[in-house]
């Protein structure tokens, strides 16, 4: 079960972490833009 090499595992975890961070940063940027331009009350 534990046959995954350490470097491969770290690479996979780092890639997943990078994707999560990128998605969070994008979401925060979009929300900040909505707040800056004024979010429409009636979408």
Convert the chain into a string of H (helix), E (strand) and C (coil): CCCCCHHHHHHHHHHHHHHHHHHHHHHHHHHHHHHHHCCCCCC
Q: How confident is the model at residue 36 (pLDDT cuts 50, 70, 90)?
A: confident
Burial 1-31 (b: 16+ CB within 10 A, else e): eeeeeeeeeeeeeeeeeeeeeeeeeeeeeee
pLDDT tens-place string over residues 7-34: 778 888 899 999 999 999 999 999 988 8
- Predicted confidence at residue 22, as pLDDT, reads 96
Q: Tokens for 14? A: 């780092």
């Amino acid at each position: 079960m534990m046959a995954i090499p350490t470097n491969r595992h770290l690479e996979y975890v780092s890639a997943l972490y990078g994707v999560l961070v990128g998605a969070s940063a994008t979401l925060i940027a979009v929300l900040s833009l909505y707040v800056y331009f004024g979010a429409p009350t009636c979408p």
